[in-house]
Structures are given as structure tokens and as C-alpha cells.
Amino acid sequence: MSSAHKNLSIFSTENLPDVSDKKFALVVAEWNEEVTNALAAGAHKTLLAYGAKEENVIRVNVPGSYELTFAAQKMAQKADIDAVICIGCVIQGETKHNDYINNAVAQGLTTVSLKYDKPVIFGVLTPNTEQQALDRAGGIHGNKGDEAAITAVKMLAF
Ligand code: DLZ
């Protein structure tokens, strides 16, 4: 990856909404937990950095990424939750399980978001290798959990 790409700003972080009274659910898959815990920690820290209060960030774990959709629905249907951030890591294996899981989760989270009219963020890594995942969970490509958190904050402007 070129250094130019690494420095690319993915999206603007100007004029973000005030989220000091917003409540976030962080739904975290336990599969590949070294990666998902790092992503979740990044997301949590970033939410606080952008104005969320510690007591307004709640974390729930699910076994695997496939279960993110159900837990996201449970969180989104709570009246006091404003946004849901889903964290997972599905590593490509010898079979096509990753395609099935990734497609189901992407579709499922979109459905939950639209059904409950709340931001539901797809913070799921879909790497070919564990190293690619680590590179994006606090490694050379940053922490995609941070991006998921900023995305949730940005979407609360709507
Ligand atoms: C079964 C499975 C496999 C093979 N790989 C992953 C993975 O890389 N990442 C992940 O989050 N979950 C994986 N799972 C578990 C599924 O997401 C799910 O928990 C099970 O299929 C049970 O529904």
C-alpha cells in the first residue's frame, strides 16, 4: 500500500453533531477476539473522544459475526439507544463460509437500520488473512473500529 493511500482522509470529521446525550450500543463478535477486541476498544475510545459519555456506551458480545444482526435488532429496538455499532472479523477460509456470513450480516444490518430508523454501523472486517485483519485493528492501516465510531457519530446528524 502506498504511503499516499495511508494518508488519505476517508471522510471529513468537521462539524460533527453533539453526541453528549446520545446512547451507543457496541455489539462485538467473539470470533477472532484479538482483532474484535482491538476494534471495539478503538471504537469505544473514539466515541468518548468525539463527545459520548462513558455511561452512554454499552457493550454486548455475541459468539460470531453471524449473530451480530440479531443482537443489533435487540439493541436498536430499545427506545434509549440512538446508534448501534457492530464489530466483527470474518476471515476467509478454505470454504465459502465467509461469503455467506458477510452477505447475511451486511443485508441484516441494513434491514435493522431501516426498520428501526437508527444508524447501524457495519464494523466488520472481511480480510483474506489474519495479518490483514491485524493491520486494520490498530496496525499499519489504523483501526477500523475508530472509523466505525466516527461513522456512527456522523450518522446521528440525520
Ligand atoms: C463458523 C464461523 C467461521 C468458520 N468463521 C468465522 C469468522 O471468521 N468470524 C466470525 O465472526 N464468525 C465465524 N464463524 C461463526 C459464525 O459467525 C456463527 O457464529 C456460527 O455460524 C453460528 O451461527
* Residue list, ligand 1 pocket, CB within 6 Å: 29, 31-32, 63-67, 88-91, 93, 97, 101
Query: What is the C-alpha separation between 18 and 32, in angstroms, rounded?
Result: 33
Q: Identity (one letter) of the amino acid at 84? A: V
SS3 141: coil
Location of C-alpha cell 490483514: 132
pLDDT tens digits, one per residue of 38-77: 999 999 999 999 999 999 999 999 999 999 999 999 999 9
pLDDT greater than 90 at residue 11: no
Cα within 13 Å of Cα(81), Cβ side: 26
Q: pLDDT band at 18, cuts 50/70/90?
A: very high
Residue nearest to atom 12 of ligand 1 (CA): 64
- The dihedral through the CA atoms of 108, 55, 149, 20 has a sign that is positive
Q: pLDDT band at 10, cuts 50/70/90?
A: confident
Helix (H) or strand (E) holding 48: helix 33-49
Cα angle at 121 between 120 and 122, to 5 degrees?
A: 125
> Superfamily assignment of 20-155 in CATH?
Lumazine/riboflavin synthase (3.40.50.960)
Query: What is the C-alpha separation between 42 and 49, in angstroms, rounded?
Result: 10
CA 66 to ligand 1 centroid distance, Å: 6
pLDDT tens digits, one per residue of 97-135: 999 999 999 999 999 999 999 999 999 999 999 999 999
CA 93 to ligand 1 centroid distance, Å: 11
